[in-house]
Amino acid sequence: MWWCCRSTPITLTLPKTTLPRANWRKKFCKNWPGWAGDIMAAGKLIVFEGIDGSGKETQARLLKPDFYLAFPRYDKLFGKIIKFLLHLPWGQKINPYLMAWLFATDRFLAKPEINFRLRLNQLVVIDRYTASSQAHQGAKLKGKSRESIIKWIDWLENKVYCLPQPDKVFFLNLPPQKAKELIIKRGREQDAAEKDFVYQQETYLIYQDLAKKKKWVIINSLDKQGKLLPVREIHECIRSRIVK
């Protein structure tokens, strides 16, 4: 086989070409409008954030939105993976960047539906969004490592996945100790994160910091005496802030 024994190497010279620079994100969004992050939407996107047991789902449903969504979506592929990992005995030790990617991708796959509802001028209410990952995954790290993952999650969800931006974010401000008491009272099954009180405290501190920096609407769930406010009273406070 003479071509296998050739001693002189063959040199291939490819023509030099200059590829035009293109903003791939804009082209992608233009060709697939359901995935676009900058669609002019007439609807309203409201997000509820807070630590586990703070009453996000309760308050979100009381608004009677046209479309309600809670992340992670445990009935979907990525939600099932997340649920499995969270309930492992060593679930809290899983790489926070991996967990953040799983949560972000679950939201990304829900993006066409969210944008579709907003274009229909509907009220879309979401329980946990980008900040949820920033708080929960950031709580696993310290110092500059914490700052880095918070910035990375913001880049992933808002720059790469270009998720729809909320019109308002409500932070249900409930201290970890009170939230823990409510979870126990409800008899709800707890995952590794919910059982870790120190972790919940760290999550709470990050949430407080994000709420101030991003100028969220902070809803205090306790009165001046430290007693839990009635659910309806908290709801009316939220409704009044949506109208503004």
In a domain, 13, yes or no: no
Contact present, 185 and 129 (Cβ < 8 Å):
no
pLDDT one-digit tens code per residue, 196-205: 899 999 999 9
Q: Which domain holds residue 114?
A: 39-243
In a domain, 214, yes or no: yes
Number of structural domains, the chain?
Answer: 1
In a domain, 2, yes or no: no
pLDDT score recorded for residue 242: 87
pTM: 0.81
In a domain, 94, yes or no: yes
User: Greatest CA span in the chain, whole angstroms?
Assistant: 93
In 67-122 the beta strands, taken as DSSP E runs, fall at 67-70
Is the pLDDT at 148 greater than 70? The verdict is yes
In a domain, 113, yes or no: yes
Residue 243 banded pLDDT, cuts 50, 70, 90: confident
pLDDT score recorded for residue 162: 98
In a domain, 15, yes or no: no
Tokens standing for residue 205:
């501190």
Is the pLDDT at 25 greater than 70? The verdict is no
In a domain, 233, yes or no: yes
Cα–Cα distance, 183 to 170 (Å, whole number): 20
In a domain, 25, yes or no: no
pLDDT score recorded for residue 3: 42
CATH number of the domain to which 178 belongs: 3.40.50.300
pLDDT score recorded for residue 92: 86
Which DSSP state fits 9? P
Cα–Cα distance, 32 to 146 (Å, whole number): 34
CA distance to 56, 95, 150, 188, 232, per residue, from 219 (Å): 11, 32, 23, 24, 13
